[in-house]
Amino acid sequence: MSIQYVDTDGDTWHHDPESDTYWNRYVSGEVTLDVLRASYGPLAVRDEETGRLVSEEEHRTETLLRRIIREELDRRFGTEDQ
């Protein structure tokens, strides 16, 4: 699942991985993430694990913590693939 951003008006922006741009149903064309932040920010992110909206900073922190925990568990106990 790709990251969904929500702007200050509550509109959801969807990622197009082919062009690495974002779109929504109200804006014609696609915009880069930098333009999206500058024009429609601050942005919230729909958390993939919980489905709730969090700030971009909180999302980065939670994603980093999840990755660190997952890597530490893999280091200590091995991965399921082994």
* pLDDT, tens digit, 9 for 90 and up, residues 16-69: 889 889 999 888 788 998 999 999 888 998 877 788 888 888 888 888 898 999
Annotated domain spans of the chain: 5-77
Tokens linked to 38: 């500058």
pTM greater than the 0.85 cutoff: no
- pLDDT band at 15, cuts 50/70/90? confident
- Cα distance between residue 36 and residue 39, in whole Å: 5
Q: How high is the pLDDT of residue 80?
A: 60
Long-range pairs of 51-55 with CB within 8 A, sequence gap ≥ 24: 53/6
Strand partners, 6: 12, 44
Whether residue 81 has pLDDT greater than 70: no
